Amino acid sequence: MKIKPEHYQVLKLKINALLDKNPQININDCITSMRNRWDLYWHCDGAFSNAQEYNYLDDNNIDTVLKHILNERIK
């Protein structure tokens, strides 16, 4: 993955906090649906939206990270 380790941790913490607060969210649906992954991303304040320090990431990079975080969670 192209993401820096510290940025990965920020997004992982935000996604996990959101999932912990909302146990009704079906993680498997999020893994298989890009729309659901991005809904999660935006519901946790779009951690990397328009911030200068994250401009090295594009949408594909972020989506890959989202899938990775979700897959880790179900293991």
Structure tokens at 16: 């996990």
The tally of domains found in the chain comes to 1
Model confidence band, residue 68 (pLDDT cutoffs 50, 70, 90) = very high
State whether the Cα torsion 5-7-9-15 is positive or negative: negative
Q: Which domain holds residue 48?
A: 5-74
CA angle at 5 for the pair 26 and 73, rounded to the nearest 5°: 20
Model confidence band, residue 67 (pLDDT cutoffs 50, 70, 90) = very high
Structure tokens at 50: 């328009």
The one-character DSSP state at 26 is -
In this prediction the pTM is 0.89
Q: What is the pLDDT of residue 1?
A: 85
State whether the Cα torsion 58-60-64-67 is positive or negative: positive
**11-65 pLDDT per residue, tens:** 999 999 999 999 999 999 999 999 999 999 999 877 666 677 888 888 899 999 9
